[in-house]
Structure 1
Amino acid sequence: MQRQDRQSLEASHRPEAIRRRLRQPTRGRNLPDAILGGIDGCVTTFAVVSGAFGAGFSATVALVLGLANLLADGFSMAISNYEAIKAQREHVDGVRDDEHRHIEVVPEGEREEIRQIFRRKGFEGETLERVVDTICADREVWVETMLHEEHGLQTEGLSPLRSALVTFTAFLVIGAVPLLPYALPGLSITRQFLASLGLAALMFFLIGMGKSLIYHQPVFASGLRTLMMGGAAAGLAFLTGHLAQALFGIGV
């Protein structure tokens, strides 16, 4: 097994394999959007279900409230993510324009910034000067290097629309799962809630597992951690609904 791993690593680090891999889009670029939308969607709808069950509402009320929150919160979250990514991209564009202007006005100062950045990485003497000359020979490379190294900005993959769509889709798909038992006739309210509880727990666990496969984390631990966080939010909603019913007489 160890020999196979070494052979696969060597094959993936041949020049043609490296060129092919670097041309491809960054893996998992929109995964955070999907994870955020999926977890928040599942928490939102199951929190509504838990609160409704704790308050003694009927299955119809729980389903209506769940669907309303699913659509409204999903859209709100997608818009918020869209605006956040758009603001980030506008910030990057603004800093890029500033760097172009700085190169026009104080080119030697900008060259010195490149020099000091790469000196901190261990380059010295003629090697350092060749690096500086090579980078500064291409204006776009120069500017992009400053964005990454001086400002620590991500310049690739900033698509507000794509991020919003991924977030909204994950929110709707995952968030609808805890509502499915409430759309099935013939089940008691208790069985509907327990079925919704099981499905929500499964979704939380699967999201955590899927995240671990991309980011190379322990599968079971990641799934369990996500399950515990989602369960805590659902438990808080159930407790709130139960207290509201006891204190204010809210319920059926």
Structure 2
Amino acid sequence: MSSNGSTGISSNGSGKKDYGSTSYSQVMVDVKDAYGRGDAEKSRLLHQLKNEMGSHTHAQENHMTGGEHIKSAVYGGLDGIITTFATVTSVAGSGLPHSVILIIGLAHLVADGLSMGLGDMLSSQAEADLANHERSREVWEFENYPEGEIEEMVELYEKKGISTDDALLVVHTLAKYKEAFIDIMMVEELNLMPVDDDDSPLMGGVITFLSFMLFGVIPLLSYLVNLIPGIDMSPETTLYLSCFLTVVTL
């Protein structure tokens, strides 16, 4: 029995591949690692393996596994740390006591975090509603006047430099599969991505809120530490430490 590197793939005497405990997601990680290292041969082998595993396991994982909410996390975290730092420095400049600065900072953190999270959720839901509405319209148009939709797609591909004959061949082939045709039509004509049923505007909002809170509290850490009995930093030291923590995090 032979094995294949970090993926843990082995083959038995009958020639059948044994995937062992290797998961589809782990193979995807290895694929991205091969790209990062510029290892074309490993990438080719892993893609073959990925395709074979997909046929056996019916895996339906996204190409960017776990990355669907990265934008929300980065956006929330960046906004949280910068706006809270701006609030802390502006209030600290007025010479107010540490406790007052901390209260104002925490109030801003919670209020703005809720606003950011709710805004992310509502905007994502609005985008999904728009995409679903436009998709329904495209479905109706395709069912009632398919020739018009096919002609539009041919023109779109011609604008990309594809010859008329090739465009007709591609579009007429796609038109045999209504769902796929509509999804591609939305992207090419409307610049709208079809809505993924697994996407959750609520989850995006929650991640934005949590990221905002997690990173937004960093400029306040020095003021929180000052509440510990026996620790009494000067206002200047507390502010400098807040600046240092913020810069290091960014």
Q: Give the drift of 1:184.
A: 1.6
Q: Give the drift of 1:110.
A: 0.7
Q: Could you tell me which of 169, 177, 180 is aligned with 2:218?
A: 177
* 5+ long unaligned stretches in structure 1: 205-252
Q: Is the 8 A contact 2:154 2:164 kept in 1?
A: no
- State the secondary structure of the residue aligned to 1:90: helix
Higher percent of residues as helix: 1
Q: Give the drift of 1:11.
A: 3.2
Q: Which residue of 1 aligns with 2:50?
A: 17
Q: Do residues 139 (structure 1) and 173 (structure 2) align? A: no
* CA deviation vs aligned residue, 1:63-117 (integer Å, no higher than 9, x gap): 1011111100000011111111111011101100111111122211111112222
Q: Which residue of 2 aligns with 1:130?
A: 169
Q: CA RMSD in A?
A: 2.5
Higher relative contact order (CA 8 A, sep 6+): 1
CA distance in 2, matches of 1:102, 1:30: 33
Q: 2:41 corresponds to which letter in structure 1? A: Q
Q: Do residues 67 (structure 1) and 106 (structure 2) align? A: yes
Q: Which residue of 1 aligns with 2:24?
A: none
Q: Which residue of 2 aligns with 1:161?
A: 202
The correspondence of residues 217-232 of structure 1 with structure 2, limited to 5 A, is: none
CA distance in 1, matches of 2:201, 2:187: 20
- Classify 1:86/1:19 alpha carbon distance in 2 versus 1 (closer, same or farther; 3 Å): farther
CA distance in 1, matches of 2:37, 2:213: 44
- Classify 1:182/1:96 alpha carbon distance in 2 versus 1 (closer, same or farther; 3 Å): same
Q: Give the drift of 1:26.
A: 4.2
- Classify 1:46/1:135 alpha carbon distance in 2 versus 1 (closer, same or farther; 3 Å): same
- Classify 1:18/1:117 alpha carbon distance in 2 versus 1 (closer, same or farther; 3 Å): farther
Q: Which residue of 1 aligns with 2:94?
A: 55
CA distance in 1, matches of 2:37, 2:135: 46
CA distance in 1, matches of 2:38, 2:181: 41
Q: Is the 8 A contact 1:180 1:196 kept in 2?
A: yes
* 5+ long unaligned stretches in structure 2: 1-35
Q: Which residue of 2 aligns with 1:34?
A: 73
Q: 2:239 corresponds to which letter in structure 1? A: F
Q: Is the 8 A contact 2:158 2:164 kept in 1?
A: no
CA distance in 2, matches of 1:134, 1:59: 69
Q: Could you tell me which of 189, 199, 205 is aligned with 2:235?
A: 189
Q: Is the 8 A contact 1:52 1:58 kept in 2?
A: no
- Classify 1:151/1:125 alpha carbon distance in 2 versus 1 (closer, same or farther; 3 Å): closer
The correspondence of residues 73-152 of structure 1 with structure 2, limited to 5 A, is: 73-124=112-163, 126-152=165-191
Q: Give the drift of 1:153.
A: 0.8
Aligned length: 203
Q: Is the 8 A contact 1:45 1:69 kept in 2?
A: yes
Q: 2:131 corresponds to which letter in structure 1? A: V
| Identical amino acids, percent of aligned pairs | 30
- Classify 1:3/1:69 alpha carbon distance in 2 versus 1 (closer, same or farther; 3 Å): closer
CA distance in 1, matches of 2:69, 2:151: 36
